[in-house]
Each structure stands twice: as structure tokens, then as C-alpha cells.
Copies of this chain bind each other. A is one copy, B any other.
């Protein structure tokens, strides 16, 4: 249904409940969700959301994913304290990917790096391009 937005002019809108009902969740009931720091533009991580995680995130304003390894809702920061406050949720042209503009508390990555994307391919090597954030910054 979101594909119908393709021909809508800037500022036009569609009812979210109807779009949500028609989103193309994959065979596991999930959509990939990219988290991006809303002000710096840094891409922080990619995780997955089912319908419940998506609805909880929009309702509470705190980002909740679906953990594929633990097979349960994963309220990002529930153990680390490194929450993501939702600034805006966007959908792509065919509705099969979510973009979350967030305000990240602390490092996004479990390695304590600001972003999970800290490995860069350079020539025939993969280089570590970010260091963990100290636990007690000076």
C-alpha cells in the first residue's frame, strides 16, 4: 500500500494504521530497521522489528527491536542503559525497510563503540576504524 505514496505530492499523507496493516514483513514477520543518529547522520546499527516492536517504538518513543537470537522483544538499552529515543520513523518506497532517526544514549554497539560499523575494508585488509568509548570518560 505504501507504494501508492510514490505518486503523492510533497506533504500529502496516508493513514498509518492502513499502511502498517499492509507492510511486507518477511517470512519471519520482520523488517530490517536502520538506526541513524538524528543530528550527526552517523549510521549506528541495523536490527529487526516485528509488528509489536514497531508499534511499541512508536507508542513509547523508545526504540524496541525483535531479537532474532533471543526470540523476544529487545528494548535497546534494557541491560546496557544505552537507549535510543525515537525522533522520526521513516519507510522506504516499497515499505520493506525502516529508517529510525534516533538520539542514542551512550555507545550504540555492544563493543562500546559509537556505531556498530567500525570495520572498514581497505585494500586486502579490514581495519578497525573506531575505538570503544571509555566506561568513565574523563
Q: Please determine whether B120 and A93 come into contact, CB atoms closer than 8 angstroms.
A: no
A21 interface contact, C-beta 8 A: no
A131 interface contact, C-beta 8 A: yes
Q: Inside 8 A of A99's CB, which chain B residues have their CB?
A: 43, 117
* Docked complex Cα distance between A6 and B118 (Å): 9
Q: Residues 12-26 of chain A: 1 if any B CB is under 8 Å from the residue's CB, otherwise 0? A: 111111010000000
Q: Please determine whether A92 and B5 come into contact, CB atoms closer than 8 angstroms.
A: no
Closest beta carbon of chain B to A52's beta carbon, Å: 16
Near B by CB (< 8 A), chain A positions 89-138 give 89-95, 97, 99, 109-111, 113, 116-131
This chain's copy number in the assembly: 2
Q: Inside 8 A of A113's CB, which chain B residues have their CB?
A: 93
* Docked complex Cα distance between A90 and B92 (Å): 22
Near B by CB (< 8 A), chain A positions 21-35 give 32, 34
Q: Inside 8 A of A118's CB, which chain B residues have their CB?
A: 5, 90, 92-93
For the complex of A and B, list the 6 residue pairs with the smallest distance between their C-beta atoms, beginning with the closest: A41-B41, A92-B116, A13-B125, A13-B127, A90-B117, A91-B119
Residues of A within 8 A of B (CB): 2, 5-6, 8-17, 19, 32, 34, 36, 40-43, 45-46, 58, 88-95, 97, 99, 109-111, 113, 116-131
